[in-house]
Amino acid sequence: MTGNVKIVINGDTYELPVVVGTEGETAIDIGRLRQMTGLIALDPGYANTGSCKSSITFMDGEKGILRYRGIPVEELAEHSSFIETSYLLINGVLPTKEQLNQVSMLFNDHSLVHEDMQIFYQNFPRGSHPMGILSSMVNALRSFYPELQTIEEEINITVTRLLSKVRTMAAMSYKISRGHKVVYPRPDLSYCANFLNMMFDTPVRPYDIDEDLVKALNTFWILHADHEQNCSTSAVRLVGSGRVNLYAAISAGIAALWGPLHGGANQAVIEMLSEIQEDGGNYQRAIARAKDKKDPFRLMGFGHRVYKAYDPRAKIIKKMCDQVLLKLKIADPLLDLAKELEEAALKDDYFIEYNLYPNVDFYSGIVLRAMGIPTNMFTVMFAIGRLPGWIAQWKESIDDPDWKLSRPRQIYTGSGKKRYTPMDER
């Protein structure tokens, strides 16, 4: 579809332009709707609203397609590393060997976290959720690393700092929460190997780096690296649109990701599967509850706003689950339960009618569990993976010639004008 769309209001015709993307996605540009007609568009949850034009990620929910800068996520998961994919997302092209080496060196230079930040970690109350801690600490980075002289330097160094330090901060937070000595990053290790080493190396049991696990972690993070205008990315763009610093915008993204309907679903899936297991493995009861409209229970790790077919990321993670468990010689009863639950749900009329398929979070917790990541850190793992996507989207938004402060409108449904009632008359 090209050209214009005509809308008729009270007999008057207005023409609104149609915008077409490179993959044929079409939209009506309503940028001047209110000026022309006095009306606004109402779209709760923005289900039909394109908030920007973007050249980063393409998704086709009906066909189960996901591509970063045009490259299918399946190819990246198989051949790329998380750092290479991050470069691709942020810079728009795959790096040369020299560029990749340069990035790795920069990551090493910026991998340490200011020692004073450890005091904060030590003083969060026990039981604080790691996502709340991460969001606060990323925001606090601005105080430790004040603004640099030039905009270019500020952006480049801040991006490098975030990508490198957030991984150190996550591992540091885990070590401190266990009362263990913090393990520092090592320049001889790759990004993912370094993270695993910082998490699991101890003075009494040196961590043995397993290249298969390193590959699995690379794949896990690649699959989470971007997902166009989802809740947390929109939060980063919206908060960033006020021209706040990047640390604050990313901190907002982390807070948005925490929710169980979004990134928090990976933790919620394992909790749900564990409850079903305690209930004697009665997954049919969980399916029945998910279908019952009077019960708020939902099958966690199922359904997606955009995918109305199998989530391509879930396909890869499901396969990875089998490989990782086999390699580590782990028999996880939750994996068997997850497979039985998936099979039953996919045959069920309700799930067929609503196009509910497993999403990325359905199997990811099982892989993370096998790696030794504690359940309450699953969403932190998602956040580390999503960081390059948030950064790429933020960068695109600040360079966008159509940039505007994000400020939706509303339809007011409250009381009409009324007089203030003094206290003794109420």
Residue 304 among the catalytic residues: yes
For ligand CMC, which residue has the nearest CB?
303
When asked if residue 359 is in the footprint of ligand CMC (CB under 6 A), the reply is yes
When asked if residue 385 is in the footprint of ligand CMC (CB under 6 A), the reply is no
CB-hemisphere CA count at 13 Å for 239? 21
Q: How far is the CB of 36 from ligand CMC (least distance, A)?
A: 30
Q: Tell me the C-alpha distance between 412 and 416, whole Å.
A: 10
Binding span for ligand CMC by CB under 6 A among 100-108, 189-197, 358-366, 416-424: 358-366
Nearer to ligand CMC, 205 or 294 (CB): 294
When asked if residue 298 is in the footprint of ligand CMC (CB under 6 A), the reply is yes
Residue 361 among the catalytic residues: yes
Q: Tell me the C-alpha distance between 99 and 86, whole Å.
A: 12
Residues making up the chain, counted from first to last: 426
Look up tokens 């919206």; give the residue. Answer: 238
When asked if residue 308 is in the footprint of ligand CMC (CB under 6 A), the reply is no
Site string for ligand CMC, 245-274 (x = CB under 6 A): ----------------xxx-x---------
Number of residues in contact with ligand CMC under rule CB under 6 A = 20
Q: Tell me the C-alpha distance between 168 and 96, whole Å.
A: 26
Q: How far is the CB of 101 from ligand CMC (least distance, A)?
A: 32
Which of 110, 304, 311, 348 is catalytic? The answer is 304
H or E stretch covering 28? strand 26-28
Of 368, 389, 393, residue with least CA distance to 163: 389
Give the DSSP per-residue string, 286-323. HHHHHH-TTS----TTB--SS-SS--HHHHHHHHHHHH
Three-state DSSP state, 36: helix
Residue of 240, 301, 388, 389 that binds ligand CMC (CB under 6 A): 301
Nearer to ligand CMC, 138 or 223 (CB): 223
When asked if residue 276 is in the footprint of ligand CMC (CB under 6 A), the reply is no
Radius of gyration of the chain (CA): 23
Residue of 356, 366, 367, 391 that binds ligand CMC (CB under 6 A): 356
Q: Which residues are CB-neighbours of 226 under 8 A, at least 6 positions away?
A: 56, 57, 68, 89, 233, 386, 388, 389, 392, 393
Residue of 227, 318, 369, 395 that binds ligand CMC (CB under 6 A): 227
When asked if residue 397 is in the footprint of ligand CMC (CB under 6 A), the reply is no
Q: Which residues bind ligand CMC (CB under 6 A)?
A: 227, 230, 261-263, 265, 290, 298-305, 354, 356, 359-361
Instruction: Kindly list the catalytic residues.
Output: 304, 361
